[in-house]
Amino acid sequence: MIVVAVVGPTATGKSDLALDLAEALGPGAARPGEGPARGRAPAEVVNADAYQLYRGMDIGTAKVPPGERRGIEHHELDLLDPREDSSVARYQSAARADLDAIDARGARAVVVGGSGLYVRALLDDMNFPGTDAAIRTHLEERAEQEGRRALHAELARRDPAAADSIGPTNTRRIVRALEVIELTGAPYTANLPRQEYVRPTVQIGLDCDRSALDARVERRVTRMWETGLVQEVRRLASPAQGGTGPGLGTTAARAVGYAEILAWFRGETGEDDARAAVAANTRRLARKQMGWFGRDPRVQWLDAGSPTLLDDALAVVAAADAGTLPRPGDGPVRRTLGA
């Protein structure tokens, strides 16, 4: 069954649309005394937001509370302690297992999230070669002794496309490329992500013009402050971070909404400035997300503010199921932020 992915910038209503789609694509309301519609299992939601993986990071990540999930099964939420660093490779393995299990149940998977790397890791042909400390140390020693240009020349012989992309001055990336070649026996470029789905998928992107998105962001930040974001960060942060909890690790402490409040706790700013920074950095994040997803010609863009959004999205899913979606580049041109 085709996977449905709802993507796009933050604050465009992805979670709400994902829930609406999961309800509409499931068995539907049964008549009294009857079971679910024949051949249709309930749809299930798979999270693709990197920070919603963390337990306790609820308000700042706009995580849908359990009581508001409409009885729909959700996956890839609340799996990590905030002190842990996240791993996209680990997420890929776990989330793909979820997709396999959902498909085996005869259900539809609805993926939702704005973390572009996590979305691609789940849906696309994307490999994560491991590391080898001995190989890396040897290459780094060679870079010191022979010079990075010598290593770059070797890379040019073994993978010309990688050498052209990386250039001769980026020692770290040259070393990594040669390490991957040693580990895999294949060119480094063979392990780079490709826009090729690993299973049938349709991506629905939510677009929004700049002024409307900015207003949405301001409302979201106001709502987060009113519902206890500051208290949430204090409960999670360690005493050394200005809180009363076990602490936030390197990854979690970088999340928008958390980093700014931690800076306030450290005395680097005041509450009003922290709140303004959360809004500004959320707007910046939205632009970055739109740039990421906007480069993918497979995304079917819809207006986040459309009164017929659910019907529009269902029409996209129906076309994907029927194999009648336009090829990438042949569909309607989306509006861009700021247009």
Has 15 been labeled as part of a binding site? yes
Q: Does 10 appear as a known binding residue?
A: yes
Nearest to 75 by CA among 38, 103, 102, 107: 102
Pairing outcome for strands 3-7 and 194-197: unpaired
Residue matched to tokens 């001769």: 168
Structure tokens at 331: 């569909």
Would you mind telling me the total number of residues written for the chain in this entry? 339
CA atoms of 20 and 313, how far apart (whole Å): 10
What is the spatial distance between Cα 50 and Cα 314, in angstroms, rounded to a whole number? Answer: 26
Interatomic CA distance for residues 285 and 293, integer angstroms: 12
Q: Are 23 and 218 in contact (CB under 8 A)?
A: no
What's the rounded Cα separation, in Å, for the pair 10 and 229?
17
Q: Is 11 annotated as a binding residue?
A: yes
Contact 262, 312 (CB under 8 A): no
12 annotated ligand binder? yes
Cα 301 from Cα 117, distance rounded (Å): 19
Dihedrals φ, ψ of 219, to 5°? -65, -40
Residue with tokens 């910038």: 9
The DSSP string of 152-175 is HHHHHHH-HHHHHHH-TT-HHHHH
Ligand-binding annotation for 205, yes or no, is no
Residue-wise DSSP of 55-114: TT--TTTTPPPGGGSTT--EES-S-B-TTSPP-HHHHHHHHHHHHHHHHHTT--EEEE--
Q: How many helices (H) and strands (E) does the chain have?
A: 12, 8
Residue with tokens 């950095």: 281
18 is in an annotated binding site: no
Distance between CA atoms of residues 273 and 263, nearest Å: 10
Report how far apart the first and last C-alpha atoms of the chain are (Å, whole number). 36
- Cite the annotated binding site by residue number: 8-15
- Cite the annotated binding site for substrate by residue number: 10-15
- Cite the annotated binding site for ATP by residue number: 8-15
